[in-house]
Structure 1
């Protein structure tokens, strides 16, 4: 409401009738306006009211009133009584409709609500002949909250000589605005002058929320405050007009992700098929790998390698070549060697067998040379040298290659693989052996070398059997044999140890001593079969730093970028970050750091995990990228597992996976443990908390802090150790006798199975460690988790056999889980909670 806009009488209600009077007047700009004035200063006890018409609220919660008025200075009025005033009062009255009459609401402070007593900043004392000179005051008052549909205003004069020149009633609001990519609607200010009213923003068309909720606050003055959250143009759209519009990328341009960045022109050898493209499609014959960024040009396959050189040495071959003329636009060119044996005639060629050896390897060569051995003598071969890169597997055509034909020369026979003892007496041993895998001609005879300690003896045999006489009774001898053709002698076989029989009454004692010595010698001298890899305990090194150098790659700290701290370990912080090594793509990694002020022992213990991890290479074992030891801080860098530890991941996704998915996770863990078992390695701390999960739900065994080397010195190898152990996951014999084996790892694997099927529930719930030990001793076993197939719970029970020799091997566990995955119907039967498991834990724990 604004009284200055009235074109006719205002018609406000007056009480009493001889009080306020509506007259025409002038504003400060000499415009004609309707005013109310009163000047009954010579009459005592004045109580003059004037009430506006009904004013609708229009949703406002706080109302502002601007009043322009003039007041006569009481001291300028001759003979003025003491009741003269220079102030007046402002009131309001709320109502849902226009119900006021001349007498209602009553002319008193209650039910009217007083806003304030209004005083003039300036009063006037004189008026010219035209009555135009006055000093105009302007005051603003506000009140709230108001909640009815409307209200009235009233002005009370109680003894002033004044004129109410103009009244303007208004509320404040924040206008519709676009900020931070979001549209915020017109919003009324709050009920209090300090109120902040939140407005929820809506992203402009083709915009997407980045931070939620998107809010903007309107203050009491009708002004927008700083926004919270924002919208960004989605992939395929860029921000224009100061972020108020998201426009589709034009043809030939793309934007791969949400953000403020502009559309980019399509890289070389790619194009878009429409506007608003999120990526550019490669042209025919060009490709991009899944890991290539969208702004990378599309690339193609390399041409064939060039300038092949072959050097034959008997049954070995050295190949060298030059890189292809065209790498396809990529830097990740590697080489594969395809070997074909073409025999001695003109028949067709066939792929070479597994016996042919390639150094450093046959596939994925990064260098332009390879050494090939264990070929057949007098045989024609064809070798294809393929050049491949990251997109070769996307091409419908075979890789480009250059071939070379060679014929091997005459060569000595290969080594005899093994020697068998046929019989023995106190002074003789009869031995036999198989013909070499590659005789490379007619075997003329064999040469046998044998010795007790240092001085060796030689004997010849034209057959693969020989009797060695004149030996000492009860003595261990070392034997080696090699074959001879016209090309000469082959290599000696590995050392084999055999003992003559013992005479007399000391036979039993002597044979025991011999066995002990034999086992000792075998552990020192027996050669490992080709391709068989055995774990080496880094703590057996005189200088543990040597183990780090041997098993862990040193990484330049300049290649490592730490992004954020994601946890804390025993020795320092655990971070996520990026690793970019020369010639390789940047990858996401996890980084363990050694805290400052460490001792040399702490440094050794910290890096020992890298010395252990660096010996493993399996898809279900956490992969070591390398270490930083030559600068500070010292770091261990591994692959990054997006979903973190398995126990937390399962608890966060309770009930979200199918049984087959859970069995797949268990199968991956079992495969990793089979690999460790084959390496003669005992983990000792297998639990869901020490399993990491990547974005593809692949589970990988990690945390080798409690693990120790398992010596392979008996048919039932056992490693005995002290220290703290995780009771709920540890086999009874490991708790009682500190005997850790792959069988105790099997027990722990059964607990991990239970954790997975219960979605990360704590094993044995809130039982104390001693209660768990007592319960296990009394043959209590964990019952099946909810909805657990009976076949899986039976496998858990097999892992929890009291006799460790009755527990399954990890190879058997992998095979069992594979059968379940191939036959999902086997997982439908559920185990009832039978009386076997309805054992009162209270009874068990209390004995």
Structure 2
């Protein structure tokens, strides 16, 4: 029920958002949603902001608190729906500061989301909104953390932002996505993308991530098959320890589909992840933050097409515990003919006891 108001009052009727604001939703989640989920949301907001820019409207208050969530599905990106709200209407929060513009009329700016030119000269444009979009994306990847939350004084925030200092990369954000976000927070407004350009960059990221996930799923399935064991029994210790195992020696024609390349090398690595009691949802929720870039959705299909003939453990970090689990797995393998553990130039972390486990296998 709406309280009675004087007849000359102006009321704003808004569409009801069942999930509340993006800030509140993120704050209530046990962990940050998958990267593809957030990128889908960012894409929708970029479309909305591009529409405003095309109509020469400046939002001026872009932040997670002003993004309303109408549908949220943490497993299917396309099932999510977000919309913009509060076009400069909210002014009661402590994140706002008063400034005097040239007309000496008091105005308020969301300081922790503000661009350098907005702080210094009160200049508002699509590019100042783009800067706020970058901070908003940082906020989402940081699970609704207030930007510059470790800084208490407005003066220090102003000094840092106007000197070109940027927020630190969230651990839940990939390097590729962070590169795009950094372009939105450039000190020089002209170097920032438009919302139309940002939308295209986000689309490319979506395409890359979706292809990467499909490749990872295929590779995980093949990795399961070549070891001839059930994934629920493979190298649990390695998964818990978040250890990387190189797959460059596997006899699989999928080297481009491996999880990640070790920087400045040609060595590809893959994270072993084991579902908990066959419950993929439980597993991804529990391990999601530590294994954020890979979603397991595999289907077991018996096949004899893939066989393991060579296993390269050079550069690995599985240690003696991981070697024991690996040895248990290899005892069931009948096709392995070459096991490479490296040399003085290709070290691994397997000690004498780990070597003994592998030798016995």
Give me the TM-score of the superposition, normalised by structure 1.
0.22
Q: If each structure's strand is expressed as a fraction of its own residues, which one has the higher value?
A: 1
- Determine which structure has more spread, i.e. the larger CA radius of gyration: 1
More contact order relative to length (CA 8 Å, sep ≥ 6) = 2
Give me the TM-score of the superposition, normalised by structure 2.
0.50
